[in-house]
Chain A
Amino acid sequence: MINWHDPMSVWTVLGTVASVLGVGVSIWLIFIAKGARKAAEDAEDTVQTYTRKRGLVEELEAVNHKADQLGAFIQHEQWFAVQMRIQEIQSVCSQILSRWADGLPEDRRSDLLRAAELARSIAKRLPTSGTRPTDTERGKLIEVQLRVNGHISSALGEARKIEERTRTQP
């Protein structure tokens, strides 16, 4: 039994209660700290995902620009520049497909593959030095280049949509 008139007993009881409360507060603080850490990790993940998606959009914008230039070079029959742009488009599309394999849905990855393959097919049809393509041949090259552009634009549109969604996520 506790003797409430004995100061020592009262101090002992108060001390015991304070210890129990201290343990409780410590456990509560551990939970809070864990929650805060989880929130910080989630925030970091969101930032990393956003940065990654942002990188994908930038790469796609760059390759889209190269595809635009490809069209202009074909129009002006700058075949060396056409060849250079085709190599760059193939290389960037391939890098995007390796680096962001999970960043785009299957049909948009297919778009990038198609763009790279169509660009390759243009390279195979380029006129040899000293010859000029007929209007029909040049028209065909431009038509295929427009489809290269279309496929890259589809992938870019999707990447922008994903980026937008990631940015607005709570």
Chain B
Amino acid sequence: MTNKDKLLVDFIIEGTKNGTLRWEPTASEDELLATLRGSHAITIRRFQDFPDRLKLRNSNGQEVLELDGNDDQRINTIYRLAQRNAFDVDKTIDEILGPDRPITDDDIPF
């Protein structure tokens, strides 16, 4: 795994956390999809007994990079983050708790 790959993983994790990357479920139960700059697609796939796998494809559908949780442990955290992003989990919890919910650190963007 190169430094560039690590930077890409940083970019994906950061974008997933702050919502600039938008994930959505695919037809495969354990796979989520996002796009990067309108030119590349990334998928993260969770496996039961193997490390999670991240794939980068170009606009022709060709696979240009594949990384897994053995290459970088942080890849194993992307699926969970992407799932929260894809299903708007934080927003859903806010709606469930209503306007009287206590303010948490996540509500303060600085």
A114, B35: Cβ atoms closer than 8 Å: yes
B26, A106: Cβ atoms closer than 8 Å: no
> Given A94-B61, A98-B59, A110-B35, do A117 and B41 touch, yes or no (CB 8 Å)?
yes
A90, B59: Cβ atoms closer than 8 Å: no
Residues B35-52 near A (CB distance < 8 A): 35, 37-41, 43
What string of 1s and 0s marks CB contacts (under 8 Å) between B46-75 and chain A? 000000000001011100000000000000
Bound together, the chains give a CA A141 to CA B40 distance in angstroms of: 23
Q: Determine if B5 is an interface residue (Cβ-Cβ < 8 Å).
A: no
Partner of A90, one of B25, B26, B43, B61: B61
A106, B24: Cβ atoms closer than 8 Å: no
Bound together, the chains give a CA A124 to CA B24 distance in angstroms of: 17
Q: Determine if A97 is an interface residue (Cβ-Cβ < 8 Å).
A: yes
For the side of the interface on B, what is the size category? 10 to 19
B61, A144: Cβ atoms closer than 8 Å: no
A-B pair count, CB < 8 Å, reads 61
Least CB distance from A60 to B in Å reads 15
Q: Determine if A116 is an interface residue (Cβ-Cβ < 8 Å).
A: yes
Least CB distance from A122 to B in Å reads 5
Chief secondary structure at chain A's binding surface: helix
Residues of chain B within 8 A (CB-CB) of A110 are 35, 38
How many of chain A's residues have a CB under 8 angstroms from any CB in B? 25
B41, A114: Cβ atoms closer than 8 Å: yes
Residues of chain A within 8 A (CB-CB) of B38 are 104-110, 113
Most chain A beta carbons < 10 A, residue from B28, B31, B35: B35
Bound together, the chains give a CA A90 to CA B62 distance in angstroms of: 11
What string of 1s and 0s marks CB contacts (under 8 Å) between B93-109 and chain A? 00000000000000000
**Across the A-B interface, the 6 shortest Cβ-Cβ residue pairs:** A109-B38, A121-B26, A106-B38, A110-B35, A121-B27, A97-B59
B binding-site residues for A, Cβ under 8 Å: 24-29, 31, 33, 35, 37-41, 43, 57, 59-61
Can you list 11 contacts pairing A with B, beta carbon distance less than 8 Å? A94-B61, A113-B38, A114-B24, A114-B33, A114-B35, A116-B61, A117-B43, A118-B33, A121-B28, A121-B33, A141-B27
